[in-house]
Chains A and B, each alone.
Chain A
């Protein structure tokens, strides 16, 4: 089992560009969670998805951010028109139905220049 895979590991975008972060959950896991970690800060919940459904997006900024978890393929966190304040590490985690244990990916470090 390869674990939770995130790519890219590092992403540099200029202000105004779009950032796409990908997360492939562990095999057999159908729950995906995205977290944002600002430098020297904790993990902030953003969104919880199951296949083709957004279950809880209470942590997502109202504008420019969106997430999906299609029937096939990885979960995608999309940030449109990035700004410097979006620079952070974005972690996804996955869990399987009936389990509360979440496994984290290695994160994508987004730098907006």
Chain B
């Protein structure tokens, strides 16, 4: 199956600064890369996703970039706010039309007010 690696494991930023989280994947057949946010004690929630036919996608303060050649993708959060503090997981899917996701190990983001 797919192997997804995620860095860093923890990240602290000042409020208003940007945060970047990076992931790499192993299976060149993977074509779907979602990002999930998990607040303490809560369920993972999808915040943004990107497919392999797109290089970049943006939604307000959140953007994701994908480099298929290098097999890595990144999450960018600009103008961070305290409520952005959570654990963020990247994932890859190696099956079209299905969704048995392979997750990275997570990044605990802390935004310091």
Contact = CB atoms under 8 A, between A and B. Distances in A.
A58 B38 CA distance: 25
8 smallest CB-CB distances across A and B, nearest first, come from: A48-B100, A42-B105, A104-B43, A43-B103, A42-B106, A100-B32, A102-B99, A95-B99
Contacts, number: 64
Interface of B: 1, 6, 32, 34, 36, 42-46, 49, 89, 93, 97-106
B103 A101 contact: no
B46 A101 contact: yes
Interface residues of A, number: 26
A93 B99 contact: yes
B99 A43 contact: no
Contacts of A35: 103
Given A42-B105, A45-B100, A100-B93, A91 B34 contact: no
B90 to A, nearest CB: 10
A41 interface: yes
Interface in A76-93: 91, 93
